[in-house]
Amino acid sequence: MTQSWPKHDMSFLGGRRMRRLRQSEWSRAMVRETELLPRDLIWPLFVIEGQNEKTQIRTMPGVERLSIDLMVEAAKAARDAGIPALAIFPNTPDHLRSETAAEAYNPDNLMCRVLDAIKSAVPEIGLIADVALDEYSANGQDGLVRDGEILNDETVAVMIRSALVQARAGADIIAPSDMMDGRVAALRAALDAEGFEHVQIMSYAAKYASCFYGPFREAVGSGSRLKGDKRTYQMDYANSDEALREIEQDIAEGADSIMIKPGMPYLDVIRRARDAFNVPIYAYQVSGEYAMIEMAGAAGAINRDAAVLESLWAFKRAGANGILTYYALEIARKLAR
């Protein structure tokens, strides 16, 4: 027997029933407020020395470090999937790391060689070069260190030299991820003076001192050698007004776009930045966020595929123009289907 349920007086709705728009997939698609497209995704990749070489990252299941030849193949796959740009991070061999981080401005370093190789083979894809010293330093810090102090201006001087060799190697975007004061203005002036007016700067404008970077530090080989922490230059996670001041300053210094990092724990900062500034804003879904989704999915705690999509849509809903995510290739292919 079919159960008969009593109806209640719903006249207080005034005829408006919000569920009407949700009754079918075509209707939900028609009124969807935000879009997620392959062009919204940037794929971070880790490069290592070798030929046909790939190594697993223990804390990032499914993500591998790739040798330069395999990076070129990854770039072709990204292009074919509609991904507009790659963000590249080198795992510099131990014997080339030093207290002065001099390998950062070696024109034949791993970063410069992979930039040149990809740009030669896949010229239509954008290349974002990370500029910070943790990938080259012996102590894992983003800046030069003297007597335990992170040196600001001396670090910026090294970053300028690093950015210039990257630009010469084919970088389309220089992305300072260090959070030193004044580095955007200094980089912009140096790039322009050397004829690289066309090279963009994507500033890590609001980069928080976060525990969510742990797997990334393993990926680039800086975690085990990190001495101390990064709280004197990366931001306090208790603050959001400060983030707006950092973003405003970087824009004034010449940043073409800005990044907020990490992503999911800082959706409020993304939203505030979108409301305050009319510039391209990017969110970085960092390694710890990736690892949490993967490990929770593997444990059966969540639906892994659904969580990936929901998290990416959250960044767009918060106001991000694009997302740096390790899921970029997988999701771009799914969206194309």
The domain that holds 183 is classified in CATH as 3.20.20.70
Share of the chain above pLDDT 70, in %: 99
Q: Can 207 be counted among the known catalytic residues?
A: yes
Q: Is pLDDT of 224 > 70?
A: yes
Catalytic residue among 119, 207, 230, 316: 207
Q: Is residue 1 part of a domain?
A: no
Q: Which of 3-17, 155-169, 205-219, 226-240 has the lowest mean pLDDT?
A: 3-17
Determine if residue 218 is labeled as part of a ligand binding site. no
pLDDT at 266 over 70: yes
C-alpha triplet 153, 159, 163: angle, nearest 5°: 150
Q: Is residue 30 part of a domain?
A: no
Number of domains in the chain: 1
Structural domain includes residue 181: yes
Burial 228-263 (b: 16+ CB within 10 A, else e): eebeebbbeeeeeeebbebbebbbebbbbbbbbbbb
pTM for this entry = 0.95
Name the residue range of residue 176's domain: 36-257
Residue 6's pLDDT band (boundaries 50, 70, 90)? confident
For residue 20, tell me if it sits in a domain: no
Q: Assess if residue 16 is contained within a domain.
A: no
Structural domain includes residue 163? yes
Q: What is the mean pLDDT of residues 272-287?
A: 98
Q: Round to whole Å and give the CA distance between 195 and 168.
A: 10
pLDDT number for residue 1: 59
Answer whether residue 85 shows pLDDT above 90: yes
- To the query of whether residue 119 is one of the catalytic residues in this protein, the response is no
Is residue 2 scored above 70 in pLDDT? no
Task: Kindly name the residue from 119, 230, 261, 316 that is annotated as catalytic.
Answer: 261
